[in-house]
Amino acid sequence: MRAPTMRHLGDVIPLPASVRPDASADFRIPADVTVGAAPAAAAIADELAGLLRRATGFPVPRAGEGGSVRLLLDDEADGGKSPESYRLDIAADGVTLRAPTAQGLFAGVQTVRQLLPVEAAAEVVLPGGRIEDEPRFPYRGTMLDLARHFYGPADVRSFIDTIAQFKINHLHLHLTDDQGWRLEIEGWPRLTEVSGGAGTGIDGAGPGFLTAREYTDLVAYAESRFITIVPEIDMPGHVNAAQLAYPELTCDGVPVQQRTDPEVGYSSLCAGKEETYAFVEDVIRVVAALTPGPYLHIGGDEALNTTAEDYRTFLTRVLPLAGKYGKRAIGWHEMAAVDLPPTAIPQYWRIEPADDGVARAAAAGHQVIMSPADRSYLDMKYDDTSPLGLDWAGVVGVERSYDWDPADRLPGVGEESLLGVEAPLWSETLRSLADVEFMAFPRLLAIAEIGWTPRAGRDWQSFRRRLAEFGPRLAAQGVNFHRSPEIDWR
């Protein structure tokens, strides 16, 4: 007899690598359920106990290392497994979740969370069976554009909470652009005083910046959700806000006007001036010191007002600075036009393949992040009726977000060249967290599944059916998702 609220073992997004249901092993969660874990997994066990408490109304105390729901850390020696892998066994007498790392346990807890009913019920039953899971790609990301519109720490935290459920593990923050500079940089106070203050952002409507302290706290919060922050300082283009604050960063030293329009491609740092590199090195040093993660994004896109020679001069000098301060450089794919340091990662956003050096970089061993605008850009309109968004890369419905593969996108850049996928969300038309959520959800769930689920296991009809069940779940969390007509929402 199935409890009416019981979920199916495979009703998870992203779909796990292997799901083997066993109807004889359903776990009827008893009133005396306890959660046990090794001390190294205590925080994750606390989280799981909280989720069970909310779903059942039972007290769900923590139980040392025993308990009817147990989190086990396996020996790391378990050769070759992804640190994010986990195995979940649900049996009539309890649940065992095992993983080689805390990160894997966290991933498994997100799966358990989705197997609990949305609303508290008199009897909560977890579906019996075994899930064995690990990600296809190590990098599964999304991006917020804090430059065109600033979102404060509370909004970014809320976004982190939502995306972590879907095993997104990188959040790229686009911190600087023509319309604003959003991170305090020690020694360069005017960046945020002038370009983070009132009247900045698109239409002057998106002011604000992160203090170094707020940024540090945000990075730590993300880390507690197993999300790595990837900070971007965009250069040599997209720098009007920096030049407004420090006119010596222009070639002629003449002050620029403040810009709050969405135009791109007009500003450029001055490749021939030493002041440029003193500034850039200082910024990279400070951002690297504030960022524990391995990556620093240097932008490099749409430098339409920089000559090809200046672009090469600039990046050839700047890219090694990421390595000097202990980081791997990520840059938009335009940077592949120059000779890259061995660890540099191009992020591909083009619609049509072109001879832009990305395939050459992949052949030389560089990893690539796939973000094709016509599939993964969360700022594109869903359809012609979308109240928000742009359409230069076309309209991107949910099926279009889902039904493509990053390993097929660019000849010469196959599975083994991919670090992963990222869905960027630019802010030109957005004004609030509610707007961010409307554009990101549900499309980001499609990208999350592309990044996690084995290619052979993916299927649009299956995704569409599973996604329908997430309507009430997202609604219960207060997430402002788009009720796309492509989905038969519950």
Nearer to ligand TNX, 181 or 349 (CB): 349
Please select the residue that binds ligand TNX; options are 17, 264, 388, 475, rule is CB under 6 A. Answer: 264
| Residue 349 found at the interface with ligand TNX (CB under 6 A) | yes
Nearer to ligand TNX, 111 or 267 (CB): 267
Integer Cα distance of 163 and 157 in angstroms = 10
Size of residue set near ligand TNX by CB under 6 A: 10
* Site for ligand TNX, residues 127 to 156, rule: CB under 6 A: none
Instruction: Give bridge partners of residue 425 from the DSSP assignment.
Output: 144
| Residue 407 found at the interface with ligand TNX (CB under 6 A) | no
Integer Cα distance of 433 and 237 in angstroms = 27
Tell the smallest beta-carbon distance from residue 338 to ligand TNX (Å): 16
Owner of token pair 């909004």? 155
Nearer to ligand TNX, 38 or 264 (CB): 264
Residue 221: partners with Cβ closer than 8 Å, 6 or more residues away: 157, 160
| Residue 26 found at the interface with ligand TNX (CB under 6 A) | no
Greatest alpha-carbon span in the chain: 78
336 near 361, Cβ under 8 Å? Answer: yes
Nearer to ligand TNX, 226 or 332 (CB): 332
| Residue 301 found at the interface with ligand TNX (CB under 6 A) | yes
307 burial via Cβ count (<10 Å: 0-12, 13-18, 19+): exposed
Tell the smallest beta-carbon distance from residue 428 to ligand TNX (Å): 6
User: What tokens appear for 158 in the block?
Assistant: 């809320």
Spatial CA neighbour of 318 closest among 302, 333, 339: 339
199-216 core/surface letters (b: 16 or more CB in 10 A; e: else): ebbbeeebbbbbebeebe
Q: Residue 302 catalytic?
A: yes
Please select the residue that binds ligand TNX; options are 89, 134, 232, 379, rule is CB under 6 A. Answer: 379
Nearer to ligand TNX, 111 or 179 (CB): 179
| Residue 72 found at the interface with ligand TNX (CB under 6 A) | no
Please select the residue that binds ligand TNX; options are 151, 295, 332, 441, rule is CB under 6 A. Answer: 332
Tell the smallest beta-carbon distance from residue 157 to ligand TNX (Å): 23
| Residue 295 found at the interface with ligand TNX (CB under 6 A) | no
| Residue 390 found at the interface with ligand TNX (CB under 6 A) | yes
Catalytic residue, candidates 132, 214, 275, 302: 302
**Residue at 195: amino acid letter:** S
| Residue 426 found at the interface with ligand TNX (CB under 6 A) | yes
24-41 core/surface letters (b: 16 or more CB in 10 A; e: else): ebbbebeeebbbbbeeeb
Q: Are strands 139-145 and 170-174 parallel, antiparallel or unpaired?
A: parallel
Nearer to ligand TNX, 71 or 436 (CB): 436
| Residue 388 found at the interface with ligand TNX (CB under 6 A) | no
What is the number of other CB atoms lying within 10 angstroms of the CB of residue 150? 24
Q: What is the DSSP letter of 174?
A: E
Residues designated catalytic = 302
The site for ligand TNX (CB under 6 A) is made up of: 264, 301-302, 332, 349, 377, 379, 390, 426, 428
